[in-house]
Structure 1
Amino acid sequence: MARIRVSVLGPARLELDGVAISLTPLTTRLLIRLVAAEGEAVPVRKLRRDVWSLTADLPHQAQRSRNEVQKRVLELRRALDPEQSGAAAGILRTEQQSTARGSETAYRLVLGPGELDSVEFTDLVNGALHAAPVTAVHRLEEALRMVHGRPLAEANGEGFADPLIRRLTGLQETARRELIRNHVELGRPELALPVAELMAQEQPDDLEAIRTLDALRAELRRRHGAELLRHTMSGLHTDVVVVRGDLFDQSDANLVVGFTDTFDTSTDQDLVISRDSVQGQLVERVFDGDRRLLDDKLRLGLRAFTAISTESAQHKRRGRRVRYPIGTTVALPVDGRRVFATAYSRLGNDLLARSGPDDLRLSLENLWSAVALHGLFKPVAVPLLGSGLARVVELDRARLATLIIETFVRACRRLPALAPELRIVIRPDALPRTDLSLVEKCLQELDRSE
Structure 2
Amino acid sequence: MARIRVSVLGPARLEVDGVPARLTPLTTRLLVRLVAADGEPVPVRRLHRDVWALDGEQPHAAQRHRNEVQKRVLELRRALDPAQRGDGARVLRTEQLLAGPAPETAYRLVLAPGELDCAEFTDLVDSALLAAPASAADRLAAALALVRGRPLAEAGDEDFARPLARRLTALYETARRQLIRSRMDLGRHDLALPVAERMARERPDDQDVAELLGALRARLRERHGRELLRQPFPGAGDLVVVRGDLFDQDDANLVVGFTDTFDTATEQDLVISRDSVQGQLVERLFGGERKLLDDRIQAGLRAFRPVRTERPQDKPRGRRVRYPLGTTVPLTVDGRRVFAVAYSRLGNDLVARSGPADLRASLDTLWPAVARYGMYRPLAIPLIGSGLARIVELDRTRLLLMIVESFADHCRRDPATAPELRVVIRPADLERTDLSVLGTYLRTTRLPGAGADVGAGTGSQDTGAGAGDSGGAYGRR
TM-score range, shorter chain: 0.7 to 0.9
Q: Equivalent residue for 1:155?
A: 155
Q: Equivalent residue for 1:218?
A: 218
Q: Which sections of structure 2, spanning at least 5 residues, go unmatched?
A: 453-477
User: Map of 1:1-400 to 2, 5 A cutoff?
Assistant: 2-58=2-58, 60-82=60-82, 87-236=87-236, 238-267=237-266, 270-400=269-399
Q: For the Cα contact (< 8 Å) 2:233–2:447, is it kept in 1?
A: no
* 1:160-212 deviations in Å (ceiling 9; x for gaps): 11221122223223332333333333333222222222222223333443333
- Post-superposition shift, 1:28? 1.8
* 1:274-314 deviations in Å (ceiling 9; x for gaps): 44432333334334444444334434443443432232344
Q: For the Cα contact (< 8 Å) 2:261–2:323, is it kept in 1?
A: yes
- Post-superposition shift, 1:127? 3.1
User: Map of 1:415-434 to 2, 5 A cutoff?
Assistant: 418-432=417-431, 433-434=433-434
**Structure 1 pair 242–316 and aligned structure 2 pair: CA distance change class (3 A):** same
Looking at structure 2, the residues matched to 387 and 7 of structure 1 have their Cα atoms a distance apart, in angstroms, of 61
Q: Equivalent residue for 1:401?
A: 400
SS in 2 for 1:235: coil
Looking at structure 2, the residues matched to 263 and 167 of structure 1 have their Cα atoms a distance apart, in angstroms, of 72
* 1:227-265 deviations in Å (ceiling 9; x for gaps): 1222333334x3222212221221222211111112233
Q: For the Cα contact (< 8 Å) 1:287–1:293, is it kept in 2?
A: yes
**Structure 1 pair 373–92 and aligned structure 2 pair: CA distance change class (3 A):** closer
Q: For the Cα contact (< 8 Å) 2:233–2:450, is it kept in 1?
A: no
Looking at structure 2, the residues matched to 253 and 328 of structure 1 have their Cα atoms a distance apart, in angstroms, of 21
SS in 1 for 2:250: coil
Looking at structure 2, the residues matched to 330 and 398 of structure 1 have their Cα atoms a distance apart, in angstroms, of 27
Q: For the Cα contact (< 8 Å) 2:415–2:448, is it kept in 1?
A: no
**Structure 1 pair 448–391 and aligned structure 2 pair: CA distance change class (3 A):** farther
**Structure 1 pair 405–449 and aligned structure 2 pair: CA distance change class (3 A):** farther
- Post-superposition shift, 1:108? 1.2
The count of aligned residue pairs is 449
- Post-superposition shift, 1:8? 0.1
**Structure 1 pair 372–70 and aligned structure 2 pair: CA distance change class (3 A):** closer
- Post-superposition shift, 1:347? 1.5
Q: For the Cα contact (< 8 Å) 1:231–1:443, is it kept in 2?
A: no
Q: For the Cα contact (< 8 Å) 2:234–2:447, is it kept in 1?
A: no
Q: For the Cα contact (< 8 Å) 2:412–2:448, is it kept in 1?
A: no
- Post-superposition shift, 1:149? 0.5
Looking at structure 2, the residues matched to 378 and 23 of structure 1 have their Cα atoms a distance apart, in angstroms, of 57
Structure number with the bigger relative contact order (C-alpha 8 A, sep ≥ 6) is 2
- Post-superposition shift, 1:417? 5.8
Q: For the Cα contact (< 8 Å) 2:255–2:338, is it kept in 1?
A: yes
- Post-superposition shift, 1:131? 4.0
Looking at structure 1, the residues matched to 330 and 69 of structure 2 have their Cα atoms a distance apart, in angstroms, of 83
Q: For the Cα contact (< 8 Å) 1:401–1:439, is it kept in 2?
A: no
- Post-superposition shift, 1:23? 2.5
Q: For the Cα contact (< 8 Å) 1:44–1:107, is it kept in 2?
A: yes
SS in 2 for 1:350: coil
Q: For the Cα contact (< 8 Å) 2:408–2:447, is it kept in 1?
A: no
What amino acid is the match of 2:38? E
Looking at structure 1, the residues matched to 20 and 194 of structure 2 have their Cα atoms a distance apart, in angstroms, of 30
Q: For the Cα contact (< 8 Å) 1:7–1:117, is it kept in 2?
A: yes
- Post-superposition shift, 1:9? 0.6
Q: Which TM-score applies when normalising by structure 1?
A: 0.88
- Post-superposition shift, 1:442? 7.1
What amino acid is the match of 1:325? P
User: Over the residues paired in the alignment, what is the CA RMSD in angstroms?
Assistant: 3.0
Identity among equivalent positions (%) equals 67
Q: For the Cα contact (< 8 Å) 1:48–1:55, is it kept in 2?
A: no
- Post-superposition shift, 1:382? 0.3
